[in-house]
Each structure stands twice: as structure tokens, then as C-alpha cells.
Chains A and B, each alone.
Chain A
Amino acid sequence: MNGLAIRAEHLSKTFPLAERNEFKTLRDVLIGMATFSFLRPRPEPEMVTALVDVSFEIGTGEVVGIIGRNGAGKSTLLKILSRITDPTTGRAEVHGRVGSLLEVGTGFHPELSGRENIFLNGAILGMRRAEILRKFDEIVAFAEVERFIDTPVKHYSSGMYLRLAFAVAAHMDPEILLVDEVLAVGDASFQRKCLNKMQDVGKEGRTVIFVSHNMPAITRLCPRTILLDGGKVLSDGPSHEVVTSYLKSGVGLRASREWSAEDAPGDETARLLAVRVRTEEGVAREAVDIRKPVGIEMEYQVIRGGTVLAPRFHFFNEEGTYLFVSIDVDPQWRGKPKPAGKYRSTAWIPGNLLAEGSVVVGVALWAADPAKVHFNERDAVAFHVVDSLEGGSARGDYAGPVPGPIRPLLKWETRAIE
């Protein structure tokens, strides 16, 4: 470390809560003036606090991860550091050119060719023409789009589009690189390529700030991590410590959760004790192989026996799409009241059913007579379905992006009929 790259002092940011599709109009202002409504007290707009008194220092050449659940202020912090938006109070000193990969493909125009978009996008990201010219071949090779370089990008597949966009951004030469979750794009092999590229950038002595939900990537790439929660810095230190405490704290979604007696969700009939994601080998883990069955287990205490209870799980993907609901249909307990005691119910999702990506699980306990929900814990646990591309998944030999919320491995038959 030889000097300071970023010094942030008491950064705070609040902004008015924007109601979607409700913009102010000139017409309303004019009507307001005509009816003297400006003399009446106006309701204060609801404010959102995104960052509260955030201070830190980052040395030149440091690679720092930023983690925290959605809405913790990670993106706002990056936006302030890249000067897209101003802080409400506080200040930051930045030493060096900042390049941001907040979202790749910014400013791509569908009508322009790949070649033209490289120059346009490069200029938007702050690269000089000469610099783009020098790196042009490297960018094209990295994106693997040589054959289509003069085709309008509207004819590109989404994979090609993303690869090209990332390639341009990855070839900027800023002293400070801000990265927000880009690794969520592209197929697995391209993601690997991106991770390697980021590792190289870090080795070259550049300062990197990396925002991600991908804990393994954070611990692998960043020696130091800052944990944000509710707009505040919750902890700042060596990545493995911060990540471990983050996962333990229950601040983030993780593969297993347990509740203490006091704050266990539920009522006087039953209470939820624990939820776990587990493999057939019995270990709770976040990343599960797309080919292997995944077990979701819930432990609950039946306090007052004698009720017919139906545990159920709700499954959502990372976009919030409702995948399915699964209700306990174990014949041993169907229609039978459960006596007081501790129970563990496990549902097994077969391998090769879910698509790659995150799955969020909600847990509920329901009774039919009298109809009642005893507890309903949304976002209880989460896991990531990963395809290692070793074969055996529904991908076959295809390595590109596969759309769709589920990915069952179907039986195919092909016969020569003539």
C-alpha cells in the first residue's frame, strides 16, 4: 500500500421516496398557483435514508468487497463514489480515475454495430479514442465476437451482447475500479473469465471495490470487506471474518437459520425452531449442485397438541417469481393430529428440476380445522443452484445462458424414421 485511493468522511444520503410513475407536472404547478395552493402547508415528501455517516479509507491497490442485503446502501455508495449522484452531507476524496461497472452495456445502441458500440461505450466510460483503438483487438477477442463485429448489436444473442459489454468495461484503465454484481451475467465459463480478469486487475496494483452477493467470490477476490446494513458500516475487516459474521448474523439470507426460544415465529400452538437447506450427505450449504436433490427441512415445536398441521414451503427465484408451493403429504401424518413435541419435516426437491440461480424459501405451518396459519416466515432461507458444467444437467453440451425458472432433465427419444 502506498498512499490513499479513497477517503470517505461521514457520507450520508437521503432522497425523496419516488412513487413509481408519479412525476410532478407543470400542469399541477400552474393549477396550484392559480388556486393559491402554495399558501397551504404542503405535506413533507417521504424521505428514504440510503446512507448514514459512512466513513472509511481505502489504500491504493487494495481490493475491497462490499456486502450487505438488498437496500443496505451498497449501490448508493458506489453511485456516490463514481459521482453519479451527490451525497446529502459528508465528503469523499478520490485519488485517481474512477471506472465503474455498475451495469455493463450502458449506452449500447441496438442499431449500431459491435465495432461502433465499442467506441461509443468506451467514450461513455471515459476512455480516449486512442486508448480504444489500441485495445480494440483485445476487446473483440475477449468478447469472442470477431465474426459479428460489423453486425448491429440488436442481432446479437443476449450472451454475446453481455460479453461485448463486459469486455469494453473490463479494458478500461482506471486507477480505481468499481464493480457491482456484473458477475451475475453470462454463462459459467464467461463468469470464470470475468473473475480472472478482476483478479488480474487487482494484481496490477489497481484499487478495486467489488459489490456482490456472491460470498465465495468476495472471499476469494477481496482481502478486506465492508459490511453495510441499513446504510451504516456494520463491520470492516478481513473478508473471511466479515463474511462469516454476516452469514451468522442472519442479516443476509443463508442456507440455515435457527431461532431462539424468545423470537421463534409462531403462536401458542406451534413455533418454528430452525430451517435448513441440506444435501443428501446431510450438510447444510448455500451452493447446491443442479444435478443433486436438495432437502429443505424445518424444525418446529408443537406446544399444544391435537391439531392436524400441514407444513409447507414456498419457493421463489431471485427475480421474485413464485416457483411453486410444496405441502407436506407424508402419509404417516396426513389427517392425523400431532401430539405436543418437536418435529422435523423435510421436503426433497429432485435434482435437475430447478434452474441455475438463487432460490428463496418461505416456511409456513398451516392447519385446516380451524383454518389458521401458525407461522409464515417469508425469506427464511436461500440457496444457489449451480451448474458446474461437468455434464449430467439439462444443459447437455450447451454452455450459453438458459432462460426459464425451471430446468427439468427430460427424457428425449430420437429415432431415424426414414
Chain B
Amino acid sequence: MEQLKRVPTFVIAPSRGGLSIRLKELWEYRELLYFLIWRDVKVRYKQTVLGAAWAIFQPLFTMAVFTLFFDRLAKVGSDGLPYPLFSLAALVPWTFFATGLTQSTNSLVGSANLIKKVYFPRGIIPAAAVLAWLVDLGLALLMFFGALAFYEWSPGFALAILPLAVTWICLVAFGTGLWLSALNVEYRDVKFVAPFLVQIWMFVSPVIYPASRVTQALAKRGLPEWLYGLNPMAGVIEAFRYALLGTTACQASFFVAGAVVTALLLLSGIAYFKRMERTFADVV
């Protein structure tokens, strides 16, 4: 009988923001998240001639330039690792972070049509914009394993924490994406700020140089190592280096600081997003 079907009830009222993210509802919309990711991936690979190759060339080419300028000429050091491997282990996750972040910044404005016409938890949009690049990250990682074989290097059991590192980078990208995408609805020039932010962020993260350079400089001034860890991407990059190369020069406190900041970033992002969410359809 039709009448026996359980009918969901909901109440519409002015929203109050806050941290309630209605996990049950997010779960109900998991298929939409999946389809949006699937759409982004599919369209991207349909439209670009290079397709998958692009995901590999970008970090590979950057690595070559970095090796020439920062290793051969500037001699920034690499904690005793081959510099190409050392920088590639950071460039693979960084490329994912940079593209994911810029894409998610513009994601809400880019989906104005959807937002004005259909209801769904809005957070799905910036989430899909980040997660759609996981496919590229996967391809880049495969390329990295090729490079490992070339240098006859093995990360050993440390590789087991790779899923953890991937989760972490997604959380940082999503947390920042929540902030920037909602800000971009309010202030339309945020999308121009995002690439600049990404660039600055790369310089303050141990992508080009080893984290040990910074932590040692801190130690010289009697400052604790975790201070550098407050940049969550510093922790993320070092976590990737550990997972992919099997070594890290950083202490646990460095990673804990990063994890705490990530949690704060995520929670504040959700709170801000929730507060702005109710007016998206009116202003986007």
C-alpha cells in the first residue's frame, strides 16, 4: 500500500547556521556527490586532448624545473634523498591541492544554475570539486611509483600511511574550499585571490625545500618544531614524503599541530559555510 510507505517530514524555517551538518542527510545525498565527481572527471577527460597525460606532466615538468634551479643552482637540500624524488613526492600532492582548491573556490558560483533550481546539501559542490581531482592524483601517484623504480628506492612499510595522507590533504583542501567558495559567492574577486594564495602557500610549505631547514632554523632560536606544523600543508607534505619515501625529519608534535589546525579549519569552514548557505540562492 502506498500509504504504508514511511513519509519523511521536514520543517522549513529561517536557518541559524551552527555546526550541525546533518550527517544523515549528507549520507542520503552520497549518490549526488558521486555523480558530480563522475561528471567532472568524465567531462575533463572528454574535453582535453592530453587528458590523463596532463595529470602526469604537470608535476613531472615542475620537478624537472625545480631540480635544475633549486637543487643544481640554489642547493636547497633534500635530507639526503635524490632531489627529483624528494620534490616529486611533494609536487604530486601539491598539484592535487592547488587545482582542487582553485576549482572549489569557483565551484558555487559556477553551479549557480543548480543552486537556484534544486535543493541539496550545498557542501556537496565544493567537496565534489576537490574530490574530482583524486583520479588525477591516482595517476600522478602511479607515475611516482615509476620514478621510485627508476631510482631503485622503496618506501617500505611507511607506504601503509598513504591513505591517511590522502585523507588529510582532502580535509585541508575541503576546509579551505568551504571558506573560499562561500567567500567567493559574497565577494566575486576571491577567485582571483585563490591562485595567489595557493602560490604563497606553496612557498611557506616544504615543497621546494626540506621541512628540516625551517625546523632547524626554529630550533636555533629556541622555538619548538610544531610552530611550523601550524601550517597544515607542511604536515600534509611531510606525511606524503614519509609515506612515499619512508623518511621524515619531523617529530610527532609537528604532525599533531597540523592535525589540530586542520580540524579547526574544517569546523570554522563548516560554520561559515552554514551561515552563508541560506542566502546562496538569493545572491549567487
Contacts and interface: CB of A to CB of B under 8 A. Distances in A.
A45 to B, nearest CB: 11
Nearest to B29: A126
Contacts of B222: none
Contacts, number: 122
B4 interface: no
Contact of A112 (B8, B10, B42, B117): B42
Interface string B1-27: 011000111111111000000000000
A85 B9 contact: no
A129 B7 contact: no
B42 A84 contact: no
Given A26-B189, A91-B11, A124 B2 contact: no
B114 A124 contact: yes
B115 A123 contact: no
Interface stretch (B31-39, B156-164, B228-236, B241-249): B31-39
A13 to B, nearest CB: 9
A87 B32 CA distance: 25
Interface size classification for chain A: 35 or more
Given A2-B3, A112-B42, A88 B117 contact: no
Given A2-B3, A81-B12, A107-B118, A23 B281 contact: no
A174 to B, nearest CB: 10
**Chain B: interface secondary structure?**
helix
A106 B115 CA distance: 10
Contacts of A175: 7
Interface in A95-129: 95-98, 100, 102-103, 106-107, 109, 111-112, 116, 119-120, 123-126, 128-129
B199 interface: no
Contacts of B189: 25-27
Interface in B67-126: 113-120
Contacts of A96: 7-9
A303 interface: no
Contact of A94 (B10, B32, B34, B115): B10
Contact of A88 (B14, B187, B281): B14
A80 interface: yes
Interface residues of B, number: 43
A374 interface: no
A87 B117 contact: no
Contacts of A128: 31
B12 A126 contact: no
Nearest to B15: A86
A341 interface: no
Nearest to A107: B114
Contacts of B2: 205
A85 B281 contact: yes
Nearest to B39: A120
A107 B113 contact: yes
Nearest to B2: A205
Nearest to B32: A123
Interface in A27-83: 27, 29, 79-83
B47 A80 contact: no
Nearest to A96: B7
Contacts of B283: 18, 23
A97 B119 CA distance: 11
B281 A79 contact: yes
B12 A112 contact: no
A27 B191 CA distance: 12
Given A86-B14, A124-B32, A106 B118 contact: yes
Contacts of A82: 118-119
A84 B43 contact: no
A106 B12 contact: no
A80 B119 CA distance: 10
A100 B116 CA distance: 12
Nearest to B281: A85
A111 B113 CA distance: 17
Interface string B223-266: 00000000000000000000000000000000000000000000
Nearest to B14: A86
A124 B187 contact: no
Nearest to A204: B2
Contact of A111 (B7, B46, B117, B193): B46
Closest 9 CB pairs of A and B: A123-B35, A83-B119, A23-B188, A26-B187, A85-B281, A91-B13, A92-B12, A86-B278, A106-B117
Given A107-B118, A126-B118, 20 more contacts: A16-B282, A23-B187, A24-B188, A25-B188, A26-B189, A27-B189, A83-B10, A83-B119, A84-B116, A84-B118, A85-B281, A86-B14, A87-B13, A91-B13, A100-B118, A106-B113, A120-B35, A124-B32, A124-B35, A129-B31
